Structure 1
């Protein structure tokens, strides 16, 4: 009886599946409640910020609902924060697995990214259901634009996640320092304000931030006419360039250090 040798692609898929299952079981436990907690965590992140801003009774910079405005800024930002950070944490916690011949740096990054994408998609959907339940309309006027903006944000976060994973292998304290980058992204991306009203020189500077473009693009699905200067191409090219740099970095420097 002949037993065909599995192809490299089959081996790769088996490794990714095993890493995803291991990731979910070690982080979430073997029950549905563990998975629910992980989905609820980003949702709680968004809702706490939304509730905090709503309590202050600030006027909405766009539209009639401050809650909707904050949600449209927080949704892309949470996608960026969680995906880029969790990929970095994944390579830290799973580094011992690299001693197995079939497990590669790329496998750990991709498996963690796949798990996080699924979790974040569920979290955004759950947040929208909660907002709908409390009387806030979370449905965009242009759903395709909103989905495209989140996909572009996923790509940028994926590229940043690969960069983070490479850096933390060479410099472990970076895992803590990335928190400062997150704070800067909150302050400089337009989550809580509209960059359009700034002086032209400052506004142009803000547009160099890919996440500013991501948020403006996502908000344009809710507020027609907003975000005309946002560049989806710039956001996606930024993600693609970071991803390419991360892959080259892994093949040249990270592999040697490992």
Structure 2
């Protein structure tokens, strides 16, 4: 009897999650594939704009011979983090009416949005590198495993940050604007379009406390041999885990009661 009850509860939970995922895709991207295609292609446009700006300014390539590979190796992790964190943070205000249903819990909404962002981030990154390969850029990383681990850790960090920020935004809505402004500052401090190793030691050591700087260095190190030895995936993963546990604790003891 207990086993049947558990299976029944799990089935209900899976149905709720799948329904929330479908609702999320249809309400955000429309009922046609073009809406979702735009969402997947938007990060590619971000990389193209950054590459165009650096090309117009005749900026030299800090690493290797390909400017677009250098730009992509920094922009892909940052865009993955920014989009996933922001979209998860925006999940709860738009889905607040759904919580009037007893089967729908606060964490179900966040988990559904996390699944959508995971798929979107993977397809966006794949599209960027496919476009680069189509124009003749060598996009095969020298260390594929490190590239995959760095990308997955970045996505986990973005989702964890989004979970924490979603709870804070629920009872303090102005935080969303503050987070948007903070990401602009983080963009300039994470080494997206420069190499932190060229900074004075005091600034370089300070940047190593920035999880995004570590993730970008780790992702780039997969493409450039001998680069990014100080980029720590373990440190970024630890910060992401702290954010996730803090967000889940807030959801359990504060946000859900509010």
1:217-256 equivalences in 2 (<5 Å):
217-256=218-257
Corresponding residue for 2:165?
Answer: 164
**What are the Cα deviations for residues 176-230 of structure 1, in whole angstroms up to 9, with x where unaligned?**
2221111011011010111112121211100000000000000000011111011
1:1-12 equivalences in 2 (<5 Å):
7-12=8-13
1:112-151 equivalences in 2 (<5 Å):
112-151=113-152
Corresponding residue for 2:72?
Answer: 71
1:54: Cα distance to partner?
2.1
1:74: Cα distance to partner?
0.2
Give the Cα–Cα distance (whole angstroms) in 1 for the partners of residues 5 and 206 of structure 2: 58
Corresponding residue for 1:102?
Answer: 103
Q: Verify the 8 A CA contact 1:54 1:67 in the aligned structure 2.
A: no
Q: Verify the 8 A CA contact 1:50 1:70 in the aligned structure 2.
A: yes
Q: Verify the 8 A CA contact 1:47 1:127 in the aligned structure 2.
A: no
Where does structure 1 differ by over 6 angstroms across 4 or more consecutive aligned residues? none
Structure-2 change in CA distance of 1:62 and 1:98 (3 Å): same
Corresponding residue for 1:202?
Answer: 203
Give the Cα–Cα distance (whole angstroms) in 1 for the partners of residues 164 and 250 of structure 2: 8
Q: What is the TM-score when the length of structure 2 is the normalising length?
A: 0.95
Give the Cα–Cα distance (whole angstroms) in 2 for the partners of residues 134 and 5 of structure 1: 53
| Pair 1:192 & 2:193 matched | yes
Structure-2 change in CA distance of 1:255 and 1:62 (3 Å): same
Paired residues, number:
255
1:111: Cα distance to partner?
0.5
Corresponding residue for 2:36?
Answer: 35
Give the Cα–Cα distance (whole angstroms) in 2 for the partners of residues 150 and 26 of structure 1: 27
Q: Verify the 8 A CA contact 1:166 1:246 in the aligned structure 2.
A: yes
1:48: Cα distance to partner?
1.5
CA RMSD across the alignment: 1.5
| Pair 1:52 & 2:53 matched | yes
**What are the Cα deviations for residues 109-151 of structure 1, in whole angstroms up to 9, with x where unaligned?**
1101110110111111111111122222222111111111001
Corresponding residue for 1:154?
Answer: 155
1:40: Cα distance to partner?
1.0
| Pair 1:13 & 2:10 matched | no
Give the Cα–Cα distance (whole angstroms) in 2 for the partners of residues 188 and 9 of structure 1: 44
1:6: Cα distance to partner?
5.2
Structure-2 change in CA distance of 1:196 and 1:250 (3 Å): same
SS at match of 1:139: coil
**Structure 1 alignment gaps of length 5 or more:** none
SS at match of 1:141: coil
Q: What is the TM-score when the length of structure 1 is the normalising length?
A: 0.95
SS at match of 1:256: coil
